[in-house]
Structure 1
Amino acid sequence: MCRWAAYLGEPVFLEDIVTAPCHSLIEQSHHALEAKTPTNGDGFGVAWYGDRPEPGLYRDILPAWSDPNLKSLCRQIRSGLFLAHVRASTGGATSRANCHPFILGPWAFMHNGQIGGFEKIRRPLEASLTDDLYERLEGGTDSELFFLLLFAEGLEQDPQGAMERATRRVIAAQRGAGIEPSFKLTAALANGETLHAVRYTTHATAPTLYASAFGEGRCIMSEPLDRDGCDWQAVPPGSFVTLSRQGMTVRPFEPASEDLALAG
């Protein structure tokens, strides 16, 4: 599984989260403490918002710890909203197109988790996209396809509802293929103004997610940056988190039908 971090608040240097702390995202890329595998070396990416509506994006297939350009950029770039991701592939080639975050217009998305039986349901899910959305598909991951499903389900008007409806669409496709529903979804989503995150699973244990005040803002990430500094709070499974300049809200995330119990 992957590791990721996102920040919203007064502008800070990306290095304050991505590279500098003792358990920074780069440290987590080769020594994760709460992941299925401790190494996340199948590429990385950062998306940050500045003076333009669309985010800047830098992705590469190198392990995050071995890219000096990433460290240099993080030392120089300040942003009030950014997403950063280190990848441990659960499917799809190690290519730049398969590295997170994914962007479309002002939206950026990254994911830690997996759609079970993806190769058996990929084709019908792709076929359910409009031609315009299908043409935006660049890689071969379940995460990028799910991002495009969010637009098909009304992301721009209703982020939480789109996330729930897209999740239901995945579960319905799994059932249609005779697969027991299996979807781990710990993800972040931003549009330049607001940051959303979700922690959900259809079974077993949802990938970890924590939130904390961070200077004049808030950080949400797969693992705490440290164990002795900020007051990190675990986000409960089955939660949809919204961070804005006004604060943070946590709502129940309930995408599945009543006969599919949430677990975490």
Structure 2
Amino acid sequence: MCRWLAYSGTSVVLSDLLYKPEHSLIDQSLRSRMGVETTNGDGFGVGWYGPGGETPAIIRDTGPAWNNRNLRELASHVSSPLFFAHVRASTGTAVQQTNCHPFRHGRWLWMHNGEIADFHRLRRSLALELDPALFSALEGSTDSEVMFYLALTFGLDQDVPGAVARMAGFIERVGHDEGVEHPLQMTVAVSDGVRLWSFRYSSLHESRSLFHSSKAETVRALHPDLDFLRGVSDTTRLVVSEPLGGLPGVWKEVPESSYGVVQPGTDEFLPFVPEPF
């Protein structure tokens, strides 16, 4: 599958989180401890929101993240208050730039770990449900991108949890109609540049790993030696496929079949149930 990281909070230099922590996302691309695959070398991507920019920037490439000089160079010079980073292990679709995460549409960023089971059988039925105005924006061949455009079709702009629930419910219905017992496996991150939503769900109720960080004030108390945390706000959060190492006491597992939103004010963690379609 894949490994990913989402950050929201005080603006940081991307390299501080991509490279510096023990067992960073770059290390996970080569030596994942909790993923289905140990190596996630089928491409990578980073998306971030700049100051005052409604449309996020993205860079994606098909090679492994661990030895990409351009990624290291860029990450040490770009700061952002909200960014996504993803390292890919293909589940069967081509290793090509348009299949690398995160995916972008307008102000939205989306990335995914997991799969639609037997996607090759379900793909046509799923794609026919897409809003015709969105279909031409579909660039790659992954189940992850189809999930994103289904969520957009089902009202992501108006209601993120509802749209993702309708997307999940539709995939399960199509899958069951085709005899697929457990159609969906997903951890998903999605953002509009202001809020960050994360979802953990699978039809089998044995979802891929997902963790969120404790409050920044708690992390500072536990690890006062971390320089980059000294100036961050208490609303700063990380959501990760697997914990960054060297930070005991920081990580909390996202509950099975749940979603969370990091936003101005109070964070929320609520049950996630696919909506019948």
TM class, shorter-chain normalised? over 0.9
The Cα of 1:117 is off from its aligned counterpart by 1.1
d(CA) in 1 for partners of 2:273 and 2:127?
A: 24
Task: Name the counterpart of 1:61.
Answer: 62
Task: Name the counterpart of 1:241.
Answer: 260
Moved over 6 A (4+): none
Q: Following superposition of structure 1 onto structure 2, how do residues 114-263 of structure 1 map, counting pairs within 5 Å?
A: 114-203=115-204, 205-212=206-213, 213-214=215-216, 215=229, 216=232, 217-229=236-248, 231-255=250-274
Letter in 2 for 1:29: S
Report if the CA contact (8 A) 2:60-2:101 is conserved: yes
Q: Percent identity?
A: 41
Letter in 1 for 2:255: P
TM-score by length of structure 1 reads 0.94
Task: Name the counterpart of 1:77.
Answer: 78
d(CA) in 2 for partners of 1:256 and 1:156?
A: 17
* Alignment coverage as a number of residue pairs: 257
Task: Name the counterpart of 1:102.
Answer: 103
Report if the CA contact (8 A) 1:174-1:180 is conserved: yes
Letter in 2 for 1:147: F
Does residue 49 (structure 1) correspond to residue 49 (structure 2)? The answer is: yes
Q: Which runs of 5+ in 2 are unaligned?
A: 217-228
Superposed CA offset, 1:8-54 (max 9, x none): 00101111211111111000000011111110000000000012100
Superposed CA offset, 1:62-113 (max 9, x none): 1000101101111111100000000000121000000000000000000000
Moved more, 248-257 or 126-135: 248-257
SS of match in other structure, 2:76: helix
d(CA) in 1 for partners of 2:127 and 2:47?
A: 25
Report if the CA contact (8 A) 1:108-1:190 is conserved: yes
Alpha-carbon RMSD: 1.2
Task: Name the counterpart of 1:31.
Answer: 31
d(CA) in 2 for partners of 1:41 and 1:162?
A: 31
Superposed CA offset, 1:228-251 (max 9, x none): 345110111111110013242100
TM-score by length of structure 2 reads 0.90
SS of match in other structure, 1:123: helix
